[in-house]
Chains A and B, each alone.
Chain A
Amino acid sequence: MPTPLILTPEQTAFLQGPLSMNVGAVGRDGWPCVCRAQGVVVARDRRSLTVLLSASRGRAVLEALDTGSAITLVVSRPATHATLQLKATRAVRVGVSTAHRATSARCVAAFAGELETLGYATELKTTLASVLPTDDLVALRFVPEIVFDQTPGPDAGRVLART
């Protein structure tokens, strides 16, 4: 039985910061697909996490996951480019709670706020809230089996932890 992967407190804190998030999967036809995620929740035991995305924007990714694709989540902090990639062989849909919607709104606002400080544009919180609404959220839970440091540079792809 492989040793379960437990996210470090630092990784957990990072996952709760202002992040750009994207979820990837591979369809039955072999095509990779990607969708911007809009929130992540780390379980108390730091062994699993729940990622939130829009059902309409992430249709291809969700179909791929429903048919058994592995999942990857890439999260990056715009101000520092610090990036993690977490992969698992499967993900399951779980019910969306009010807390999930609140988390999504908070994550999108934090991401927009970070971009504003970097000079991307003003009023990004309003813009991104309309791009990434919380009305058709889907929640996907998965247990990371491998975590990579994906920060741009020659060390990108270094394995930080695995089961």
Chain B
Amino acid sequence: MNIALESLRPCLDGAVPAVVATASPDGTPNVAYASQVHYVDPEHVALSFQFFSKTRENVLAHPYAQVQVIEPVSFRHFRLKVHYLRTETSGPLFEYMKAQLAGIATRTGMAKVFALRGADVYRVLDIENVDPRLLPAPSPPDALLKLRGTLDHLGACDDLAQLADRALAALARGFGISHALLAMLDESGGALYTLASLGYPASGVGAEVALGEGLIGVAAREAIPVRINHHTGDYTYHAALHVADPASPRIPLPVLANPHSQIAVPLMHGARLVGVLYAESEQNAFFSHADEDALVVYGRHLGALVVQLAALPDDAEPARVAPASTPSGAPLAVRYFAHDHSVFIDNDYLIKGVAGSILWTLLNEHAASGRRDFCNRELRRDPRLPLPDFGDNLETRLILLQRRLAERCPQIALAKTGRGRFRLELARPLLLNAA
């Protein structure tokens, strides 16, 4: 092919509808609009299969088609000769196209009409530039340069808390992203929890997302990046949050109510999913294909850093810190529910799960022995905590707990006293009560 398929990626974002020409076995032509022509790799595209149409009937009988795509802004037309190979009805490609189609459907007023049945994969045999005399659309900003700037801003990080904050702040500097969050995979592998966020009125630290739920959950379940360039109701979290069970407390995700662009990329360490980086914008088409590439690389970098920092050994001794003040004032009522490890302070929900269990263990240990200094290593070995054999998540759980306490109950604090070491600081006396 004289023209590389990669160079047509701006044409393959659903901004301007494509058409697909097919032929029936008797040679009758058919032309239909294609909602979505998705870039798969340098030799393949996938078309959304939404209805049992003439196009589908034709390619199943005679697998040769021509697809006409249009470059936004310049309106240069390109024609792709394609050969139908197969239809995928599940898996990463299907899930990506399903999410993206939801965005296209909303943009085109077809939200109730479009539903993906399959991703029809075609090999691209030839590409024709129909308008060679026209100038191409201006190039978008260089995503590699943005990535380099982001990594410069990230710098060297000594611990996970610093990494979580800087990872998002650097995105603002490098990519101009104003709203983002970092969600880590939990011990069960069935959900993610928010560790840090950027640009929202409430931090949402501790907010959970089930695997497969919304864009973050799909990116995590499939370990793929997912990018939606238009507003869609299908992948927002608000509907799910509104029907949340009041008996099961849940911290709301801090995300925008009506994002017009969204991207979720997995944080990977090798083949292992560590978490998801999510970013969104109130502008349409904020994230380009190249931005997606760059953020995938950033996600891999962050995934490796998370694992590396979590594996550093704890300090042998705590740093010297000022003596703690004696708790004073009215006692805080701390109530613990063992079935989900949830902790309430003066009847206000604080945290649940592993982080709730850690807090309850620390407070009881302090009440029994007066101890205030703890280290991660002993928590990893503590049979009272529902931790898996590998303890990579412990530190992120402690960061989550530390931040949640700082936001909701600053009278109880976990102060860092070294790598893998912290001190429990209490400004008020406590009344512990397990339900």
Contact = CB atoms under 8 A, between A and B. Distances in A.
Interface of A: 20, 22-26, 30-36, 57, 69-74, 76, 81, 83, 85, 87, 120-121, 124, 127-128, 130-131, 150, 152-154, 156-157
Given A121-B73, A157-B54, A26 B110 contact: no
B21 A32 contact: yes
Nearest to B27: A26
Interface in B58-115: 62, 64-66, 68, 72-77, 79, 81, 108-110, 113-114
B270 to A, nearest CB: 42
Contact of B29 (A36, A70, A120, A128): A70
Contacts of A73: 31
Contacts of A72: 28-31
A34 B32 CA distance: 10
B51 A128 contact: no
Contacts of A153: 51, 113
Among A34, A85, A130, residue most surrounded by chain B Cβ atoms (within 10 Å):
A34
Nearest to B284: A119
A81 B68 contact: no
B23 A36 contact: no
B315 interface: no
Contact of A152 (B16, B35, B54, B77): B35
B77 A24 contact: no
B33 A30 contact: no
A85 B77 contact: no
A24 B21 contact: yes
Given A76-B33, A131-B131, A152-B114, A30 B64 contact: yes
B130 interface: yes
B113 A57 contact: no
Contact of A32 (B16, B33, B65): B65
B21 A33 contact: yes
Interface string B404-426: 00000000000000000000000
14 contacts: A22-B21, A23-B31, A25-B29, A31-B64, A32-B30, A32-B65, A35-B68, A76-B33, A83-B33, A85-B30, A87-B29, A120-B16, A124-B75, A131-B75
Contacts of B248: none
A35 B130 CA distance: 9
Interface in B20-62: 20-23, 27-33, 35, 50-51, 53-54, 62
Contacts of A85: 30-32
A33 B131 CA distance: 16
Contact of B53 (A31, A74, A76, A157): A157
A69 B110 contact: no
A3 B21 CA distance: 28
Given A34-B31, A57-B77, A74 B19 contact: yes
A83 B113 CA distance: 15
Contacts, number: 107
B397 to A, nearest CB: 45
Given A74-B19, A87-B28, A36 B77 contact: yes
Given A22-B19, A69-B29, A152-B110, A36 B131 contact: no
A87 B54 CA distance: 13
Given A22-B31, A83-B33, A32 B23 contact: yes
B75 A30 contact: no
Contacts of A32: 21-23, 29-30, 64-66
Contacts of B202: none
Among B28, B65, B76, B131, residue most surrounded by chain A Cβ atoms (within 10 Å):
B28
A50 to B, nearest CB: 18
B47 to A, nearest CB: 14
B134 interface: yes
B82 to A, nearest CB: 10
Contacts of A83: 33
A120 B110 CA distance: 17
A85 B23 CA distance: 14
Nearest to B65: A32
A74 B64 CA distance: 19
A91 B64 CA distance: 23
Contact of B66 (A31, A128, A130): A31
B33 to A, nearest CB: 6
A145 B12 CA distance: 34
A33 B66 CA distance: 6
Given A33-B21, A34-B19, A121-B73, A152 B66 contact: no
Among A35, A85, A87, residue most surrounded by chain B Cβ atoms (within 10 Å):
A35
B81 A22 contact: no
Given A131-B77, A153-B113, 18 more contacts: A22-B68, A31-B64, A31-B81, A32-B21, A32-B64, A33-B79, A36-B68, A57-B130, A74-B31, A85-B31, A87-B29, A121-B72, A127-B73, A127-B75, A131-B131, A131-B134, A152-B35, A152-B110
Contact of B27 (A30, A36, A150): A30
Contacts of A124: 75
Nearest to B108: A81
A35 B74 CA distance: 17
Contacts of A121: 72-73
Contacts of B75: 124, 127-128, 131
Interface string B107-127: 011100110000000000000
